[in-house]
Structure 1
Amino acid sequence: MATKNFLNWLLTEKGKQFSFYVAGTAITGIMVASYTSQTIFINNYKDLFRLYKNGVAAPVPGILKERFEKTLQLLEIEEAERQLYSPFMSCGFDIIGLGLSSSRFGVYIGLPSNFQYNSPQNFDTSKIVLNQAEGKSVTWDSKEGQDLLNSMVLSEKAQLYAIAKEIQFRQSPKLYIDTFIATSCAAATYILSSIINRKFDFYSRPRVIRLIVYSFVSSLCFMNFIMCKDMSQLYYEKTSDDYLIAKDPVFLEGGKEFWEKILKRNMALRKLLGPRGESMYTITGNENNIIRSKHLPFTERQSFFANKAAPSVN
């Protein structure tokens, strides 16, 4: 009864005003959360990805610090701005970029632990498991096991490219664009729903009709959100690769190796993970996305570097 009375109250003028303030608060919350997670609260956000050993954050090895500094030099980042860029050791085997170069809170690049190995023989394979919840170990003497192990060893050039692409991406306005898109789509959901309700007088119709309207408008705005977000992601990934190739030949060579290893890793995981791997990766090593395109296809990025002529050096 209390729920029914509350829903009926929402149809009154005071109820509509209450809904307006709630929607405004939610929209503001989306905007604030999207921006502050990569700025004010970036240290808290970083902790979600940080690698810990015995309860303590794993330190960055000296060799990786040197490579990080070398990347900053190759990108010709001003000495005064280099303090804004910091590495940390991250979980998993993917490099991670957090933050904004235009923010005083800086940029953090999460380096995977496999970056510190220069040979497959250096790996402690007993600590690497698939489907961690099941504790499934890898058959390392199989072809797929060897392919996975070899794919995790990256040369210095490949690591320099990996670090550079994350730094370059953090210098783009992608976060501002995502924040604007998310806020705009959330606001459009409320505004369009209100306009439709008033125009067709759905406030006086059965509640199920309004629920259908809300579901349709929410789905439409959400689809628009992911489409715009993914399009901007693809654009800035392509722009980043173009910039790095023109910046220094080392990124051309490193990029080619990096994406070859990523494809090799994904194809190995597709076999080793069974049905789950087949749902995650295609037979060529790309991410298996049905609707969205969260990233440029890895095969496309690998071909881009493989087919690109090395820029001349004066």
Structure 2
Amino acid sequence: MGAQFLQKASAWVKKRKTTLLAVSCMGLFGANLSYHVFPEQTFKLLHECWSDGQPAELSQRLCGVFHDVLQDTGVKSANSYRAFAASGFHPVSAGIPWLPAGSLVGIPPNFDSTIEDKKGIVNHVVVINGKEVDWESSEGVALREALTFSPEAQKFAIAREIVYLQNSSPLVNAAVAPTCLAGTYFGGIGIKILLGLYPGPMILRSICNFIIATTGLICYYVSYDAVTYHLDCKADRNVATISKDYARGGVEFYDKILSRNRILRTLMGKQGVKVYAPSGNLFPRHWFRIKHTPYTYRRDLIVNILRELQA
């Protein structure tokens, strides 16, 4: 009974291979993009900052900064981008500007702090390893300084998220998986034809299929990391070239991220050593993967742009 079912299922799959491939590719693309197509129902619920049991609201100052950044980045329709108060330490974003749902940019509470007024930080409880951060301790003071950005750095960080979405980066990222799947499928067919495996024993085809699938998976990881790396650097480059102020803000922004991560590495103990490198980068390498664009590289990229602008 089981053998008959497997034979029928195999025959059904063989007849509809192309249809199944198309559906799988569309499903992967849609699944990867759903986060950006419905940002209000997914992204915002995950990243929204809450205060006293209610969603926190952005201050008037940050709303003004956000609108200034929209103008500086050449956004024609301000309704395509909306800001909200996000948890975390730096801005986040999701959405596709030209879709009805538009795009969301989350701005963290520490962006409401200035060198003179630290209320955006010290008014919020930060818990690390189950312990509340004491803002008056040496580590707390250092962390507070690392989380306090100048207006130029704040504008760079927000503009980077807007430009990232303007570049259709979510669409490009979402296309990597279905492209690799289709490439693996058609590449496997071509290889088996070249090697003459179709008339041969099934075990040889099975071994070949396993090798092709493994190679396809590796290609997906490498391609995804390469595309992410390219899109991150492209967004940084585009924002840094707006003006010298934005470039200086970018250098400060990444310098303070690296400083913050070094402090968190100390506060988090063993877990911090696993997550953060001594330089302050997230540990980017995992076997053959580079899962995160190094912050040191992104800072150096903007330093070079600033030198060119000042020349």
TM-score relative to the length of structure 2: 0.84
* Amino acid in the other structure paired with 2:161: E
* Amino acid in the other structure paired with 1:82: A
The offset of 1:159, in angstroms, is 0.6
1:257 lines up with 2:271 in the alignment: no
Distance 1:25 1:257 in 2: 46
Which of 215, 218, 222 lines up with 1:223 in the alignment? 218
1:129 lines up with 2:124 in the alignment: no
1:168 lines up with 2:167 in the alignment: no
Taking the TM superposition and a 5 Å limit, the aligned residue runs for 1:62-211 are 62-78=60-76, 81-119=77-115, 121-122=118-119, 123-124=121-122, 127-131=125-129, 135-138=130-133, 140=135, 143-193=138-188, 199-201=196-198, 205=202, 210=206
Distance 1:202 1:63 in 2: 71
Is 1:65–1:87's contact at 8 Å kept on the other side of the alignment? Answer: yes
* Amino acid in the other structure paired with 2:42: Y
Question: What is the DSSP-based 3-state SS (H/G/I as helix, E as strand, rest coil) of the residue aligned with 1:176?
Answer: helix
* Amino acid in the other structure paired with 2:114: N
Distance 2:199 2:150 in 1: 63
Distance 1:140 1:90 in 2: 21
1:42 lines up with 2:14 in the alignment: no
Gaps of 5+ in 2: none
The offset of 1:254, in angstroms, is 1.1
RMSD: 3.0
* Amino acid in the other structure paired with 1:162: A
The offset of 1:125, in angstroms, is 6.8
Q: 1:77 to 1:18 in 2, by over 3 A?
A: closer
Is 1:71–1:160's contact at 8 Å kept on the other side of the alignment? Answer: yes
* Amino acid in the other structure paired with 1:254: G
Distance 2:228 2:12 in 1: 42
Which of 232, 236, 239 lines up with 2:231 in the alignment? 236
TM-score relative to the length of structure 1: 0.83
Question: What is the DSSP-based 3-state SS (H/G/I as helix, E as strand, rest coil) of the residue aligned with 1:311?
Answer: helix
The offset of 1:149, in angstroms, is 2.0
1:32 lines up with 2:30 in the alignment: yes
Distance 1:266 1:147 in 2: 11
Aligned position for 2:269? 274
Which of 296, 300, 305 lines up with 1:303 in the alignment? 300
Aligned position for 1:10? 9
The offset of 1:249, in angstroms, is 2.2
Question: What is the DSSP-based 3-state SS (H/G/I as helix, E as strand, rest coil) of the residue aligned with 1:251?
Answer: helix
Gaps of 5+ in 1: none
Aligned position for 2:59? 61
Distance 1:176 1:139 in 2: 42
Is 2:125–2:133's contact at 8 Å kept on the other side of the alignment? Answer: no
Is 1:196–1:202's contact at 8 Å kept on the other side of the alignment? Answer: no
Distance 2:99 2:134 in 1: 45
Q: 1:244 to 1:196 in 2, by over 3 A?
A: closer
The offset of 1:192, in angstroms, is 4.4
* Amino acid in the other structure paired with 1:58: A
Aligned length: 303
Distance 2:265 2:173 in 1: 31
Q: 1:215 to 1:129 in 2, by over 3 A?
A: farther
Distance 1:203 1:88 in 2: 61
